[in-house]
Amino acid sequence: MADSGNKRELEAKVLQKVAEVISAIKTAKHVDQVISALHSLAVLLFPVDASIIAECVGQSYRDQILSSRLPSKSERLECWNAFYNGAAFSALSQALLPELASSWLACFPFLAKKHLYDIFFVDGPAIEVAQNLVPCLQPNASDGVDVRAVRSNTERLIVLCLLEKDGVLQMAKEFGESCKYENFVTIPAISQVAQIVTSIPDKAQSKASNSLSSHSFFKQITNQLLSLAEAEDFKYIDLDGTMMFVGETFSRICRRGSTDLLLNELIPRIMKHVHDVLMSNAHSTVSDVFESSPNSQFWLKIMETIKDNYAIEKISEQLLHQLATKCESDVDAYWVLWLLFHRSLRSRMSVRSILVDKFLFWKVFPIHCLRWLLQFAILECPPDGNCLKKGHSNSSLLMTVQRLVEVWSKKDFVQSATLEQQAYISAAVGLSLELMSKEELDETKTVMPSILQGVSCRLENPNQWIRKMASNVALVFSKVIDPKNPLYLDDSCMGDIIDWEFGLTTRKKENIDCMIGAQTTTLVQKKEATDAAKLGTGHNIRSKNKNIWEFKLADPDEIVDPASLNCGSISEDDNESDISDSSSDSSLQPYDLSDDDTDLKKKLSHLVDVVGSLRKSDDVEGVERALDVSEKLIRASPDELRHVASDLVRTLIQIRCSDIAVEGEEDSTEDKRQRALVALVVMCPVESLNILNKLLYSPNVDTSQRIMILDIMTDAAQELSNTKVMKPKHRSRTLIATTAETQPWFLPSSKGPPGAGSWKEISGTGTLPNWSNSYERELPLKPSHVKRGKTRRWSLRSANMQDNEMELSHNKFPGHAAAFMLPAMQGFDKKRHGVDLLNRDFIVLGKLIYMLGVCMKCAAMHPEASVLAPPLLDMLRSSEVSHHKEAYVRRAVLFAASCILIAIHPSYVVSSLLEGNVEISEGLEWVRTWSLHVADSDPDRECYMMAMTCLQLHSEMALQTTRALESSNSPFKAKSIALSSDLSKGTIKIPFSDVKY
């Protein structure tokens, strides 16, 4: 009790002294009075050198400072504890920081500021100093202080105390000492101090020192705290208080968005520690070495003391991404994760949820990070080199595989997840299956049907990468079921090593592969050249001799040439003569009749014959010859084309190219068939489109044929829109020329070959009066001619029409646009026998919408585009189409909407608004709002990019429409249209203010 009484008495004495100093500062008239008052208090707390302070004041105060009584070291320590542990320091800080800094501090000499003013903060406990300094970064201007001076001085002291003097490290040690001796520190107090420290960059002035910027400040305090891992006196510090403060500080740094900066400093230190332990303990159990090593205690406890789940998630996520670029060994990466998370993984369900649930099902990491997660969190044992290794307990693996396959097999996941997410989950499924045996697979009753379901729904996807995911997983699954009979669904899956990145490599790797491919090609070319050189020498002769002496079975009915029997010599010269003799003509040799049937083959020159040949499916050669000539005959546009077009279209659609083509040449045969159909639509659009539109929804065709029909219509529309026509060139010429001849100006020139006759006027042969004159003259015979020369006629137009004509593009598509589009749009949402575009046949739906968009683009700026845009917009606006689950369909809708924005002329929108027709403006407004919705919420990256392009096109359309509306001429205004009521319904908004980037 006596000690506590003395302590309170000393605190009261120190507090009274502080009150006297504050009063002296407030009543001071000269800076020497302020310095003298501060010295009288500082000498009780710190070992102040009085001679230095005396040099800073005048003579009247110098003797007073030099004659001050100096307390003993023990007395000074007791006063120091009473000053900082009580209310005295907080009271003095209110006078030193706001008041003195704004009024007297600028007058302080440098030595007085350093050894008398700063000492109260530099030599004080860092925790108390920070709690009093940081609030002064935002002083209250109503107190009558110089805000700029107060903030600048506070920032200077923070840099001095917390950064230059390692104040944050001192705080961590102070919390450890407090827990060790006094046991009064609580988690809220530690959290409050950590929050105060990490808030400094946000409270500092914009023109403050670079040391107080968030990047520099957090880097410096992180280095201070990480130095505890290698400190020699770390084992003498209580870990609870110190590590709690470190964990809270790191949590606050992550909350302020500097997780990457934190890990930039943490990863090199922990990787060095892991590498040193692995190199020095090759024959010991690594986990035991880490547990017993004093230098590992910091790393074992750091993540355990972080209670904020958000900070744990951010740290672990950034840790994996940075380890992917900095760590080359799977073993090192495993032990880094083990050091940081193995205790939390076992004791805290939230940490396991982050590392297993979120990181396997919701996040996307590089493939080697995925292997690390599986090895550490699922298999729970060190890897075998850079390969996954199973542990003793497989219950976690089986449970994880079941959950992964359950998610992977859902069709909704294939439709809504991004391509990167699907590749990541597919790799997780494949890597997990590679570790399982058939017995373990039999224990899980739901894995096999889920895998089959996931493979089947991916194989019908139009995206090649999604199909490759199905092929890889199916291959691994087949190896588990029957290792001797792997199932190869894709040619790229051949081999034992499976590419779990699915070919989605970086551009750098692609460039390296291209270089390797070029080198391989060069080596192959060199080898082929060497082989060719060898064939040109003795190798060729030996091969010929081998062919001559090749054993053949004797035919009793064969007609034998006696000359061929004389081949007994084995010398090279004899062989050459034998070859020469055997190749000579002989009447006894059989006559070759292999080419005699060429004349019997009927040459196809009429489309009727082509149709007949195509219908004879058993005559493969006839069908091939018909396909070879069909396009040329169609483009020749014979008179019979209109009559046989319908039958020819139907016949070409129903041909099975795989049945008639030679193996490996199916694409060539398919290309001939498709080019013939495109030519039919171009040359005879009415009859051809009538049949194509009927077949499009017919139950007698399959999905591939429907896709082919849409591709044909797309190609034909583009060809019709790019049709070339010949147009005469307009050449300006002088009609009246000045000549030096004496003949009249209207007669042609008399220049010509020697012996030419004179020009004579001839009368026209037409019935209408001819306003121009025609002339003719006799020309002499050429030396090689025996007949009379021809008559040349002179006129204003040259006889060589090709020289006077130019090629122009003439769009022939708009006249047929309705025939292309309207029948195809009718009934797209009806479910018929074999046709379900909105669900099962979504690929056909996407192709259909793409074809309609191309048609709108081909009819751009024509009146037909304005007429066809509203019904197409109505089709796109239906919720089954615009909000389709498949990204393939949504991309097609965005493409078609963009084509509409390109195709419609702004003047048409203006005229529609002025006439009170708001149908087109409402459709365009839907395009804008729906594109914004896609850009905000669609998981597909390509949909997002297309939506942004669509918004840009809409804004340009709105701008052009607004300009055209403002500059509309008087004829529109003369109609007395009430623009205020109708235009309000059909506004077109410019989306720049609504787009979120």
pLDDT confidence tier of residue 618, bands split at 50, 70 and 90: confident
Do you know the residue count of the chain?
997
Closest CA to 226 of 186, 181, 271: 271
Rounded Cα–Cα distance for residues 180 and 188 (Å): 18
pLDDT tens digits for range 889-919: 999 999 999 999 999 988 888 888 888 788 8
42 contacts 119 by C-beta, under 8 angstroms: yes
The CA-based dihedral angle spanning residues 767, 773, 774, 779, taken in that order and rounded to the nearest 10 degrees: 160
Q: Which of 408-412, 437-441, 493-497 has the lowest mean pLDDT?
A: 493-497
Is 119:173 a contact under the CB 8 Å cutoff?
no
- DSSP H or E segment with residue 229: none
* 3-state helix vs strand vs coil in the chain, percent to 5: 65, 0, 30
What is the pLDDT at residue 805?
Answer: 57
Asked if 560 and 582 count as a contact pair (C-beta separation under 8 A), the reply is no
Q: Which residue has the tokens 């009979």?
A: 485
What mean pLDDT comes out for the span 71-88? 89
Q: Which of 11-25, 188-202, 450-464, 825-839 has the lowest mean pLDDT?
A: 825-839
Q: Distance between CA atoms of 820 and 818, rounded to whole angstroms?
A: 5
Q: Does the pLDDT value for residue 571 go beyond 50?
A: no
Helices 419-434 and 464-481 pack at an angle, to 10 degrees, of: 10
Q: Give me the chain's average pLDDT, please.
A: 79
Which of these, 355, 350, 325, lies nearest to 337 by C-alpha position?
A: 355
Q: Is there a contact between 932 and 991 (Cβ–Cβ < 8 Å)? A: yes
Q: Which of 682, 683, 689, 686 is nearest to 709 (CA)?
A: 689
In angstroms, the first-to-last Cα distance of the chain is: 67
- State the DSSP code for 99: I
DSSP conformational letter for 767: S
Closest by CA position to 249, among listed 202, 194, 200, 212: 194
Mean pLDDT of 526-544: 39
Is 180 within 8 Å of 249 (Cβ atoms)? no
pLDDT in tens, 721-778: 987 665 666 555 555 555 555 666 666 777 777 778 877 777 655 444 445 567 788 8
Mean pLDDT for the stretch of residues 676-704: 92
Residue found under tokens 């880490």: 290
Average pLDDT (628-632) is: 87
Q: Are 249 and 194 in contact (CB under 8 A)?
A: yes
Whether 196 has a pLDDT exceeding 90, the answer reads: yes
Q: How far is CA 613 from CA 138, 253, 622, 709, 841, in A?
A: 93, 79, 6, 22, 33
More confident position, 5 or 302: 302
* Residue pLDDT, tens place only, 860-895: 989 899 999 999 999 999 999 999 999 999 999 999
Report whether pLDDT(131) > 50.
Answer: yes
Rounded CA Rg of the chain = 46
Amino acid identity for residue 627 in this structure: L
Q: How confident is the model at residue 497 (pLDDT cuts 50, 70, 90)?
A: confident
Q: Number of helices and strands (H, E) in the chain? A: 50, 5
Reported confidence tier of residue 262, pLDDT bands at 50, 70, 90: very high
Do the beta carbons of residue 290 and residue 277 sit within 8 Å?
yes
Burial of 652 (0-12, 13-18, 19+ CB in 10 A): buried
CA angle (70 as vertex; 64, 71 as ends), nearest 5: 145
DSSP string, 585-628: --TTSPPP-TTGGGTTSPPP-SHHHHHHHHH-TT-HHHHHHHHH
Cα(55)–Cα(62) distance, integer angstroms: 7
Q: Name residue, tokens 């006839």.
A: 622
Q: Is 703 helix (H, G, I), strand (E, B) or coil?
A: helix
Query: Going by C-beta distance under 8 Å and a sequence separation of 6 or more, which residues neighbour residue 688?
Result: 645, 646, 649, 677, 680, 681
pLDDT at 988: 41
What are the φ/ψ torsions at residue 239 (nearest 5 degrees)?
-75, -25
Choose the weakest-confidence range: 237-241, 260-264, 337-341, 891-895. 237-241
Distances from the Cα of 642 to the Cαs of 607, 645, 672, 687, 709, in angstroms?
A: 10, 5, 21, 7, 20
**Cα separation of 717 and 864, whole Å?**
14
How many Å apart are CA 90 and CA 393, to the nearest integer?
59
pLDDT digits (tens, 9 = 90+) for 632-676: 889 888 888 888 899 999 989 988 776 666 665 656 788 888 999
Question: Nearest-5° angle of CA 350, CA 351, CA 356?
Answer: 100
**Using N-to-C axis directions, what is the helix angle for 187-198 and 126-133, rounded to 10°?**
60
559: exposed, middle or buried (C-beta count within 10 Å: 0-12, 13-18, 19+)?
exposed
How do the domains of the chain map onto residue ranges? 257-389, 391-502, 600-683, 814-968
Residue 364: band (very low, low, confident or very high) from pLDDT cuts 50, 70, 90: very high
Tell me the CA distances in angstroms from 775 to 689, 751, 793, one per residue in order.
Answer: 53, 14, 6
**Portion of the chain with pLDDT greater than 90, in percent:** 38
CA 11 – CA 79 distance, rounded (Å): 8
Give 442: exposed, middle or buried? Use CB within 10 Å, 0-12, 13-18, 19+: exposed
Confidence class for position 609, pLDDT limits 50, 70, 90:
confident
Identify any residues that bridge with 806 across adjacent strands, giving them in sequence order: 727
Under the banding of pLDDT at 50, 70 and 90, the label for residue 161 is: very high
Residue, of 624 and 409, whose pLDDT is higher: 409
d(CA 212, CA 203): 9
Average of per-residue pLDDT across 431-440: 90
Q: Are 946 and 893 in contact (CB under 8 A)?
A: no
Average pLDDT on 947-964 reads 91
Give the list of residues 6+ apart from residue 28 with CB closer than 8 angstroms, or none: 34, 37, 104
> Identity (one letter) of the amino acid at 929?
T
For residue 238 the two structure tokens come to 């209580």
What pLDDT does residue 986 have? 42
Residue 730 is which amino acid?
H
674: nearest Cα among 716, 623, 702: 716
User: 463 falls in which pLDDT band (50, 70, 90)?
Assistant: confident
Choose among 209, 376, 192: nearest CA to 287: 376
Residue 70 is classified by DSSP as: P
